[in-house]
Amino acid sequence: MKTLHIDLGPRSYDIQIAPGLLDRVGEEIRKVCPKAKRIAIVTDTNVEPLYGARVEDSLEHAGFDTGLFTGPAGEGSKCATHLAALWEAMMHFGLTRTDAVVALGGGVVGDLAGFAAATILRGVDFIQIPTTLLAQVDSSVGGKVAIDLVAGKNLAGCFWQPRAVLMDPDTLNTLDDKTFADGMAEVIKYGCIADKDFFDFLRSHPTRGEIMANIEHVLYTCCDIKRSVVEKDELDTGNRMLLNFGHTLGHAYELAGNYEKWTHGQAVSAGMCAAIQLGFGLGIMEEDEGVQALMDLLEAFGLPTHIDCPWETMVKAVGLDKKNQGEDITMIFLWKMGEALPVRMKKDAVLENLEAVYGQ
């Protein structure tokens, strides 16, 4: 078992990583929500049959009344219609301001449940129980919660830190290989942006079996890197954007595939490869010390190193990027493996240099 403390003053919390933790979530949640009577468990149709009853049993054993709110699996449920239905169902359940919301599932469930918790009754306690690798290493940590709008992904949201993040690595055993690889893209990203030793560790453990044999170390290392970034920039006004390495171009690929053809991890994987080549072309990474190693590692997990993208989609994505400020955009590059660098650039300059990478 490993524990990591996220120090955000009054919004501080612990991340716990332990096999079998799913059966003890009740007692852990009792510690952080001593006054709560009711717990609304938000989950989806994939996760509920696997883990819903275990989590309910553990919570009821700890004296909570539970309500299970199961939505359809998939990004489509992260919308205003489902959020409104969830608010109404929570009121019907009798949730009060001293009660709590639990997110049991992957990133979609965490974002939706977190935004519901942040807004219902002007905000109630929230606990993350992430069950996918992507959610365990990224979306459950740091307090970003949101729903999608027609205008784009995650456009209505806020920061709402959980009271606890409870990770049971055993839940990863039920993921298919594609969903596991989706999370591996973000795992590899942490090595690229902040920890060369961890990148080398991943290179020497390039299979799902080897990662799972060391999963507590992997989860702890990724969450510790995210911890150090979030503690310095909780509200994402500065260095938290380092976590977006590979994401600007990744968003272009997601857009090009209409958010269906490519998973987020696949898009980030190809986005990291394009960003590293772009940085190399710009002379930011002086020696080509990481491109091939990164590509080999991503490929070992079945992740793409290149995605075809229509030029107009690329232009649109660079223009729409949330970090875009007027004519400028902040791109995240590696200046060497394990060290990322934000570079403010003119959008036109990004596109010109991308043309070189893409041979347009």
Interaction between residue 321 and ligand GLY (CB under 6 A):
no
- The whole-angstrom separation of Cα 349 and Cα 351 is 5
65-71 and 144-149 as β-strands: parallel, antiparallel, unpaired?
unpaired
Closer by beta carbon to ligand GLY, 213 or else 235:
235
- Per CB under 6 A, the list member of 48, 138, 224, 321 interacting with ligand GLY is 138
Measured distance CA(269)–CA(278) in Å, rounded = 14
- Please state the separation of Cα 132 from the chain's center in Å: 10
Among positions 144-203, residues that touch ligand GLY (CB under 6 A) are: 144
DSSP-based three-state secondary structure for 151: coil
142 binds ligand GLY (CB under 6 A): yes
309: left (phi over 0), alpha (psi -120 to 50) or beta: beta
Give Cα separations from 243 to 41, 248, 323 (angstroms).
29, 11, 12
Q: Tell me which stretch binds ligand GLY (CB under 6 A): 25-33, 105-113, 207-215, 236-244.
A: 236-244
CB of 7 to ligand GLY, least distance (A): 16
Nearer to ligand GLY, 78 or 240 (CB): 240
SS3 (DSSP) at 278? helix
265 scored as a contact of ligand GLY (CB under 6 A) = no
Shortest distance, position 142 Cβ to ligand GLY, whole Å: 4
Q: Pattern of binders to ligand GLY over 193-232, x per CB under 6 A? A: ----------------------------------------
| Stretch binding ligand GLY (CB under 6 A), from 85-93, 127-135, 138-146, 307-315 | 138-146
Please say which residue, 48 or 236, places its beta carbon nearer to ligand GLY.
Answer: 236
Q: How many C-alpha atoms does 167 have within 13 Å on its Cβ side?
A: 31
Q: How many residues bind ligand GLY (CB under 6 A)?
A: 6
Would you state the structure tokens that stand for residue 59, as one six-digit string?
A: 């919570």
Question: How far apart are CB 277 and ligand GLY at their closest, in Å?
Answer: 22
Rounded Cα distance, 267 and 242, in Å = 17
Task: Pick the closer one to ligand GLY by CB: 153 or 240.
Answer: 240
If one counts every other C-beta atom within 10 angstroms of the C-beta of residue 178, the result is 12
Indicate the residue among 159 and 201 with the shorter CB distance to ligand GLY: 159
Contact range with ligand GLY by CB under 6 A, out of 61-69, 78-86, 137-145, 177-185: 137-145
The string of DSSP letters for 195-222 reads -HHHHHHHHTS-SHHHHHHTHHHHHHHH
Q: Which residues of the chain form contacts with ligand GLY (CB under 6 A)?
A: 138, 142, 144, 236, 240, 243
